Amino acid sequence: MPLHPAYFETRFRCESPAPDWPARFAIISASATTGERWDPAREAAADARLLATIRAHEVWYARVTGYSPTTAHAEPSWAVALARATACELGATFAQDAIYWVDGDALVVGRCTGDPAWEPVGAFRARVDAPG
């Protein structure tokens, strides 16, 4: 089953100036899976649990929000310096269909379970919107 087309138009917004990105990292959300809707309290609780899990790994992380420039749908997410397999496992734990992976400036997306079959999305930094 192909990935939802929305994954390929996603941009990323930072609330503060863009951080110094590590060489490799994942972008993971705990929001409702594509096509589902969760109430705001469930979304906030899942995001808080994801952050606590990330902090327990004691790795670099930063808040980013993935959003669609055409529909305005937005998902608070975390950029996190985990191994790719670990990031996929974490995404699956938080009911995600897919995660993003950044290697250098190459942005790809892959499923959290099974063979991720990473699909190219484009240049990561060209998709980042950050103040200052």
Print pLDDT tens along the chain (132 aa). Answer: 788 898 999 999 998 888 899 999 999 999 877 567 778 898 899 999 999 999 999 999 999 999 999 988 889 999 999 999 999 999 999 989 999 999 999 999 999 988 768 999 999 999 999 886
The CA distance from 23 to 106, in Å, is 10
How many whole angstroms separate alpha carbon 3 and alpha carbon 66? 16
CA-to-CA distance for 30 and 47, rounded, in angstroms? 5
Q: Which domain holds residue 21?
A: 5-129
For 15, which DSSP code? S
**Please, is 36 exposed, middle or buried when counting C-beta atoms within 10 Å of its C-beta (0-12, 13-18, 19+)?**
exposed
Number of domains in the chain: 1
Residue 45's Cα: distance from chain center in Å?
Answer: 17
Question: Which distant-in-sequence residues (6+ apart) come within 8 Å of 69 by Cβ?
Answer: 9, 11
Q: Which residues of 51-64 are buried (b: 16+ CB within 10 A; e: fewer)?
A: bebbeeeeeebbeb
DSSP bridge partners of 35 = none
